[in-house]
């Protein structure tokens, strides 16, 4: 036994009754996807700029995601804990209209879905 880890004290963790824990608590580590949805009211430049600003992605990665959302009508832009996913979705919704297009009246849309 490694003396650095030996101790004469014993720590007992409290018992957890899994039946009393809410389903959401058990799923709190379930990863969530932030899915950006396509529309016709934002330019490629806007989408690339937004992905770089919100997620810190390099231009090449942001451009690849922009092409994917345009061709497949959706792209997963981030996966992780629910709270962070909600924050990213809210940042997308708050990013604002595309000043390059007169028809752009607001931000792009994003949804959350459980990652498979």
Residue boundaries of the structural domains of the chain: 28-114
Q: 0.85 cut: is pTM over it?
A: no
Residue 29 confidence (pLDDT) = 78
CA dist 112 and 82 (Å) reads 9
Please report, rounded to a whole number, the percentage of residues in the chain having pLDDT higher than 70.
76
Look at 77 and 23; give whichever has higher pLDDT. 77
Please give the CATH number for the structural domain made up of 28-114: 3.30.1390.10
Q: State the virtual CA torsion across 23, 75, 106, 99 in degrees, nearest 10.
A: 150
Q: Under a CB-based contact definition with an 8 Å cutoff, are residues 92 and 107 in contact?
A: yes
The mean pLDDT of the chain is 85
Q: Tell me, what's the pLDDT at 23?
A: 54
Q: What is the pLDDT of residues 12-50, one digit of tens each?
A: 444 444 454 455 544 567 999 999 999 999 999 999 999
């Amino acid at each position: 036994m490694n003396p650095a880890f030996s101790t004469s004290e014993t720590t007992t963790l409290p018992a957890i009754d899994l039946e009393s824990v809410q389903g959401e608590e058990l799923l709190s580590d379930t990863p969530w996807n932030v899915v950006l949805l396509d529309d016709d009211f934002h330019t490629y430049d806007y989408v690339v700029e937004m992905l770089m600003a919100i997620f810190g992605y390099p231009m090449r990665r942001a451009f690849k995601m922009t092409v994917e959302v345009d061709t497949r009508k959706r792209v997963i832009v981030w996966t992780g804990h629910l709270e962070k996913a909600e924050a990213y979705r809210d940042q997308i919704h708050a990013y604002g209209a595309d000043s390059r297009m007169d028809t752009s009246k607001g931000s792009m849309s994003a949804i959350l879905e459980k990652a498979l």
